A = this chain, B = another copy of it.
Amino acid sequence: MVNVALLGFGTVGSGVAEVLTRNGDLIDSRVDDLVRLKYIKRAREVFDGPYQDLFVKDFSIIEQDPQVDIVVETIGGTGAALDYTTRALKAGKSVVTANKELVATHGYELLQLAKEHGVSYLFEASVGGGIPILRPLTSCLAANDLTQITGILNGTTNYILTRMIQAGLTFEQALKEAQDKGYAEKDPTADVDGHDACRKICILAALAFGHHVYPDQVPTEGIRHVTLGDAAYADSKGYKIKLLGRAIRQPEGKVCAFVAPHLVADTAPLAGVEDVFNAIAVTGNAIGDVMFYGRGAGKLPTASAVVADVIDIAKDLKRDRHNGWASGSPDLVVSDDGLTSKWYVRAQGTMDQARLACGEIQPLARSGAPTSEVAFLTAPMPRPLVLDKLRGMEVASLFRVLD
């Protein structure tokens, strides 16, 4: 018998309970043991419904029950979640979570703690929702020297951009629609300003390159300033605008990581990733390019990944899963200034001014553009150079073009 305690009973938590119950027989047969949900820790006073006998308010009941093997943390954030995770690991219980914020900010110390206590800390669901990505990255691609990860890591922003491109909605209209559909929170900051994607690229970079990458080391730009005009200019030459999280291995063990809107050519697989779907492309020196695609959020997809981690641990409670990474350092992450790419520019001015400033350019047009506006693609160059060239122009949008 393997006993599981669930912390939190919101969207993800109730999804985990549902998957453990609905697919219980199948899970037991895959583990070759009985996997039982023993406790659900929940703050609300009113306990009813099918799990009413499992609810507890006090975490120390779970902490002190030697029968609890696995704690599933679905509280979110870095407050109580960090406290309970730390205590659970110290009490010799493995912990599974979908909490990207906690892993991105405290992953290194929690993985160390798990190792010290001979237990596991797994977080497949923290990136890409239900999409299998972290385990494939560390097991199936283990023979590769990984060089690059590029991901559409946030379903909310991808939905908004898709609706802007396909239905001609403004950013504000598309955000409102996403909120009405439950795809975006009332306070959409974490999504639309790129923080959620930033946490995810930190976790991917740490797994791929072996050192903790902290969110505050990663330059992060969201999509609030992407306009319908930008989408139309991009479309005129066969590009879609996508918010990408990128991590690129640099010489001497350093990492270039950043989050920013990009122009992605329609012929690239990432361009076809629409609505709330996520996709993560990984490049390795043997595999070439491989891509993982699916629903990056949602109750059951996320629960699917959480329960997969529970099954993995339950199959062998004490196995060292080698899923850690080394500590980070202030000079580990380098800015993307050195990265050469074409640039998309929308500015006030004329095409002659643009040519004078940037030399060889590819002009872009859209119907209804004001005569004072100019948009174009530059030749490949690093950011400091394009900024220098554009010094004399009033720039409204400046996005990289994905190679």
Contact = CB atoms under 8 A, between A and B. Distances in A.
A270 to B, nearest CB: 10
A130 B308 CA distance: 22
A295 interface: yes
A46 interface: no
Contacts of A303: 143, 286
Interface in A105-156: 124, 130-132, 135-136, 139-145
A293 B292 CA distance: 6
B30 A308 contact: no
A136 B160 CA distance: 30
A284 interface: yes
B286 A300 contact: yes
Interface residues of A, number: 52
A290 B140 contact: no
B142 A308 contact: yes
Contacts of A131: 290
A285 B136 contact: no
B322 A32 contact: yes
Contacts of A284: 304
B22 A285 contact: yes
Contact of A136 (B27, B135, B142): B135
A301 interface: yes
A177 interface: no
Nearest to A301: B287
Given A23-B145, A132-B139, 19 more contacts: A22-B285, A23-B143, A23-B144, A23-B285, A30-B142, A124-B140, A131-B290, A136-B140, A139-B311, A140-B308, A143-B304, A143-B305, A144-B304, A269-B273, A286-B304, A288-B301, A290-B295, A291-B293, A292-B292
Interface of A: 15, 19, 22-23, 26-27, 30, 32, 124, 130-132, 135-136, 139-145, 269, 272-273, 284-295, 298, 300-301, 303-308, 310-312, 315-316, 319, 322
- 4 pairs of A and B residues whose beta carbons are closest in the complex: A132-B140, A143-B307, A290-B294, A286-B304
14 contacts: A23-B143, A23-B285, A26-B145, A27-B143, A130-B286, A130-B288, A130-B290, A132-B140, A139-B311, A143-B305, A143-B308, A269-B293, A287-B304, A288-B295
